[in-house]
C-alpha cells in the first residue's frame, strides 16, 4: 500500500473514531438526561402519592377528633339532638389532588381514581352535614331555648323538648343529628380503607419506594 493510501486510511479511521466518540458522548449525555427525567418524574409521583395518603390521614384525624370529643360523649344521650353541641364552621377545603395522580390511569389500577374521588366527596359531605346541623342548632334551636328560659344540657325529657321546639323543628334537628353521626361513623371506616388501599396500589406501582403507613389508634367507631 502506498504512502498516500495509508494516509487516506489513517484519515478515515481518525474521522470515524472522532465521529464514534462524538456519538458515544451524545448518547451518554442523552441517556443521563433521560435517566434524570425518569428519576424526577418518579420522585414527583411518589411525592403525590404520599400527599394523597397524608390528606386521607388528615381527613380521618379530623373526623376522629369530632367523634371522640363531640359525638361519643352524647351518643347514648336520649337528648343528644339537643345536647350535642353546635360547632363553629368546619373547614372542608382540603382535598386530595386528583390531577397529580392521573398517572395511575396508565396502570391497571386506574379505577382507584374514581374511588378516591368518591371518598374525597364523602368527607366533604360529612363535614357539610355537621355544619348544617350546627347552623340549625345555633340559628333555630338556641333562640327558642333562650326565649323559653331553658339552658342547654338541661335535665328534661324528649317529649318536653318536642313540645317546646314544635314537632317539625324537633324532627328536623333529630334527623340532622342522626345523619351527622352516621356520616362521621361511616366515613371514618371508608377513609381508613381507602388510605390502606391507595398505599397498596402505590407499592405495586413503585415497589422500591417508601409510602406513608396509615395506622391510626382507636380508628373505628364503636357503634358503626
DSSP 7-36: HHHHHHHHHHHHHHHHHHHHHHHHHHHHHH
CA distances (Å), origin 124, targets 59, 64, 65: 9, 15, 16
The stretch 2-31 carries a mean pLDDT of: 57
pLDDT, greater one: 105 or 4:
105
Question: Measured on CA atoms in the order 180, 92, 123, 216, is the torsion positive or negative?
Answer: negative
Per-chain mean pLDDT for the chain:
84
- pTM comes to 0.79
Q: Say what the pLDDT of residue 214 is.
A: 79
Task: State yes or no: pLDDT of 220 exceeds 80.
Answer: no
Distance, in Å, from the CA atom of 64 to the CA atom of 70, rounded to the nearest integer, reads 10
pLDDT > 90: percent of the chain: 63
Q: Is the Cβ–Cβ distance between 146 and 117 less than 8 Å?
A: no
Residue 96 and residue 52 in contact, taking contact as beta carbons nearer than 8 Å: yes
pLDDT digits (tens, 9 = 90+) for 22-69: 655 655 554 555 566 778 889 999 999 999 999 999 999 999 999 999
Q: Is 155 exposed, middle or buried (0-12, 13-18, 19+ CB in 10 A)?
A: exposed
For the cut 60, the answer to whether the pLDDT of residue 191 exceeds it is yes
Q: What is the pLDDT of residues 121-153, one digit of tens each?
A: 999 999 999 999 999 999 999 998 888 777 665
Position 223 confidence tier, pLDDT thresholds 50, 70, 90:
very low
Q: Nearest to residue 136, comparing CAs of 163, 167, 165, 176?
A: 176
Number of residues that this document lists for the chain: 224
Q: Using alpha carbons, select from 171, 183, 79 the residue that is nearest to residue 130.
A: 183
Q: Can you read off the three cell numbers belonging to residue 87?
A: 360547632
- State phi, psi for 157 to the nearest 5 degrees: -120, 155
**Is the confidence at residue 1, as pLDDT, over 80?**
no
Checking if the pLDDT of 3 tops 80, the result is: no
Q: Quote the CA–CA distance of 52 and 46 in Å, as a whole number.
A: 10
Model confidence over 78-104: pLDDT tens digits? 999 999 999 999 998 889 999 999 999
Amino acid at each position: 500500500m502506498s504512502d498516500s493510501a495509508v494516509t487516506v486510511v489513517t484519515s478515515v479511521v481518525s474521522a470515524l473514531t472522532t465521529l464514534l466518540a462524538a456519538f458515544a458522548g451524545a448518547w451518554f449525555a442523552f441517556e443521563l438526561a433521560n435517566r434524570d427525567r425518569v428519576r424526577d418524574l418518579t420522585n414527583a409521583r411518589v411525592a403525590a402519592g404520599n400527599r394523597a395518603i397524608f390528606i386521607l390521614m388528615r381527613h380521618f384525624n379530623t373526623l376522629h377528633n369530632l367523634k371522640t370529643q363531640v359525638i361519643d360523649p352524647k351518643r347514648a344521650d336520649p337528648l343528644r339532638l339537643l345536647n350535642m353541641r353546635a360547632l363553629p364552621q368546619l373547614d372542608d377545603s382540603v382535598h386530595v389532588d386528583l390531577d397529580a395522580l392521573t398517572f395511575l390511569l396508565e396502570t391497571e389500577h386506574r379505577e382507584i381514581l374514581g374511588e378516591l374521588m368518591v371518598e374525597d366527596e364523602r368527607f366533604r359531605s360529612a363535614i357539610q352535614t355537621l355544619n348544617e346541623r350546627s347552623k340549625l342548632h345555633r340559628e333555630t334551636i338556641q333562640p327558642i331555648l333562650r326565649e323559653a328560659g331553658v339552658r342547654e344540657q338541661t335535665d328534661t325529657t324528649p317529649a318536653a323538648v318536642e313540645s317546646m321546639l314544635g314537632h317539625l323543628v324537633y324532627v328536623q334537628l333529630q334527623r340532622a343529628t342522626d345523619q351527622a353521626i352516621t356520616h362521621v361513623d361511616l366515613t371514618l371506616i371508608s377513609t381508613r380503607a381507602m388510605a390502606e388501599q391507595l398505599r397498596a396500589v402505590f407499592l405495586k406501582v413503585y415497589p422500591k419506594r417508601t409510602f406513608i403507613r396509615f395506622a391510626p389508634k382507636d380508628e373505628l367507631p364503636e357503634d358503626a
